[in-house]
């Protein structure tokens, strides 16, 4: 590494440790690089503006965030929970299975693990711990790990960001996440079934089958949201970005006109929260765009590709190395930062080894989602600690069996690319 680049890295790390948001730190470090390297400082602004205003796909991020918030303030979530309870609540550990199934359904609407945990986490925590049915730490851990499914099953904000840095098709990335997401849910349900038998979790009173049509009908408008969203994309009616706008409009229409459950103050609050979240992600993307220019100038991706070529890694060997690297980084860094800083450096090597970019993208996103439940940085762990008011160490201990099962699922989609690529190829993908 050159001296200017070393100074830039040192500045980013130092500023981050001092508490500056990582996006701001990357911009500052990149400007320092340009200054020391004797380049025009206006290049930073040029890279930032060109990247932010020429990538149409970025618009999908705030729209998916808004769609999730509109679902949370309406009664869509409660109706979906009732529907999930009718489906799987009758089994031993039924509420735990409900938690997982609702995350699968919610995943087809929000595209965000944080939105899933924040939207249904408090309700699921209250339902599961009422009358001492489940230990609070187990309920909190289950909500955290089930929320991981959200950005794997389409739509997915992390996949949108991956498409931004890799030029992969968002539509086929979305399709590629369906089977891995369901595999993650299955792995979690196996752990729940085992724990329910071992720890004698309760069996909920079954909802009579005659009530199922009415429950399904009341939840039907909410259940149709993934159909509207994905049908628009794969039917050719909308781009993924336009589909995000349709999803937000549909969530608003259902909550306001059909369920009549949204107040003006709640709607304003959802707009404000979505704006704050979008600004936070936007600053991270802006910082990464500037820093990626520095990385490109320093020829870091090609240098890494040459280095790894000297190791004579096979495509599978490289994917295993990427899995280990991303799982470690997930303990230390925020997922979006990994997507925008680390993954672009790995993509040229993946392409040189002939690894499919859709398969690689899904593997990357699954790794990053697992980082949300790995200490010390696991963001979902902190959210559930706050919601459940349970010590972090207890939640981490309860998470470990689920994490092990999901790593097994990650290994399966790494070793067997057809688990990711079968559905995209069915829809015409040529990769």
304 burial type by CB count under 10 A (0-12 exposed, 13-18 middle, 19+ buried):
middle
What's the rounded Cα separation, in Å, for the pair 342 and 180?
22
pLDDT along the chain (431 residues), means of 10: 81 84 86 88 82 73 80 73 75 81 76 68 78 85 89 86 86 91 93 89 77 84 80 79 84 82 83 83 80 81 73 88 90 80 87 92 94 81 82 90 94 95 89 71
Helix (H) or strand (E) holding 5, with range, is helix 3-17
SS3 letters across the chain: CCHHHHHHHHHHHHHHHCCCCHHHHHHHHHHHHHHHHCCCCHHHHHHHHHHHHHCHHHHHHHHHHHHHHHHHHCCHHHHHHHHHHHHHCCCECHHHHHHHHHHHHHHCCCCCHHHHHHHHHHHHHHHHHHHHCCCHHHHHHHHHHHHCCCCCCCCCHHHHHHHHHHCCCHHHHHHHCHHHHHHHHHHHHHHHHHHHHHHCCCECCCCCHHHHHHHHHHHHHHHHHHHHHHHHHHCCCCCHHHHHHHHHHHHHHHHHHHCCCCCHHHHHHHHHHHHHHHHHHHHHHHHHHHHHHHHHHCCHHHHHHHHHHHCCCCHHHHHHHHHHHHHHHHCCCCHHHHHHHHHHHHHHHHHHCCCCHHHHHHHHHHHHHHHHHCCCCCHHHHHHHHHHCCCHHHHHHHHHHHHHHHHHHHHHHHHCCHHHHHHHHHCCCCC
Phi, psi of 374 (to 5 degrees): -110, 125
* pLDDT on residue 404: 94
* pLDDT on residue 74: 65
User: Residue 187 in contact with residue 79, Cβ under 8 Å?
Assistant: no
Phi, psi of 203 (to 5 degrees): -100, 125
* pLDDT on residue 21: 82
SS3 letters across 317-355: HHHHHHHHHHHHHHCCCCHHHHHHHHHHHHHHHHHHCCC
**Closest to 121 (Cα-Cα) out of 152, 101, 144:** 144
Neighbouring residues of 29: CB distance < 8 A, sequence distance ≥ 6: 8, 9, 11, 12, 15, 291, 294
* pLDDT on residue 106: 76
What's the rounded Cα separation, in Å, for the pair 57 and 245?
12
3-state secondary structure of 39: coil
**Closest to 111 (Cα-Cα) out of 253, 295, 20, 243:** 243
What's the rounded Cα separation, in Å, for the pair 140 and 96?
11
């Amino acid at each position: 590494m050159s001296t200017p680049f070393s100074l830039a890295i040192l500045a980013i790390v130092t500023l981050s440790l001092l508490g500056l948001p990582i996006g701001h730190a990357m911009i500052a470090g990149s400007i320092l690089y340009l200054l020391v390297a004797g380049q025009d400082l206006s290049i930073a602004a040029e890279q930032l503006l060109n990247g932010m205003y020429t990538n149409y796909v970025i618009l999908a991020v705030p729209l998916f965030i808004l769609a999730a918030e509109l679902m949370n303030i309406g009664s869509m979530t409660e109706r979906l929970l009732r529907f999930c309870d009718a489906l799987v609540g009758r089994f031993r550990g039924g509420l735990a299975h409900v938690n997982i199934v609702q995350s699968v359904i919610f995943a087809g609407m929000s595209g965000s693990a944080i939105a899933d945990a924040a939207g249904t986490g408090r309700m699921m925590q209250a339902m599961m711990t009422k009358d001492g049915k489940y230990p609070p730490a187990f309920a909190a851990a289950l909500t955290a790990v089930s929320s991981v499914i959200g950005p794997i099953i389409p739509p997915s904000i992390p996949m949108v960001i991956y498409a931004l840095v890799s030029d992969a098709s968002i539509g086929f990335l979305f399709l590629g996440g369906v089977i891995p997401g369901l595999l993650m849910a299955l792995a979690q349900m196996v752990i729940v079934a085992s724990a329910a038998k071992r720890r004698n979790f309760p069996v909920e009173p079954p909802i009579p089958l005659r009530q199922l049509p009415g429950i399904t009908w009341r939840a039907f408008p909410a259940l149709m949201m993934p159909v509207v969203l994905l049908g628009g994309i794969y039917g050719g009616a909308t781009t993924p970005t336009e589909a995000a706008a349709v999803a937000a409009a549909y969530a608003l229409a259902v909550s306001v006109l059909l369920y009549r459950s949204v107040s003006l103050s709640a709607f304003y609050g959802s707009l404000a929260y979505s704006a704050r979240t979008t600004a936070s992600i936007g600053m991270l993307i802006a910082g990464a765009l500037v820093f990626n220019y520095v990385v490109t100038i320093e020829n870091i991706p090609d240098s890494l590709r040459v280095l790894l070529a000297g190791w004579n890694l096979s495509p599978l060997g490289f994917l295993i190395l990427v899995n280990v690297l991303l799982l470690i980084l997930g303990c230390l860094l925020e997922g979006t930062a990994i997507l925008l800083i680390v993954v672009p450096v790995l993509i040229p090597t993946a392409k040189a080894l002939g690894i499919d970019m859709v398969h690689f993208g899904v593997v990357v996103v699954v790794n990053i989602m697992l980082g949300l439940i790995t200490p010390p940085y696991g963001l979902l762990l902190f959210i559930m600690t706050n919601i459940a008011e349970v010590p972090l160490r207890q939640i981490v201990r309860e998470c470990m069996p689920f994490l092990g099962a999901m790593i097994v699922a990650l290994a399966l989609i790494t070793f067997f690319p057809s688990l990711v690529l079968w559905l995209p190829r069915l829809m015409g993908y040529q990769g």
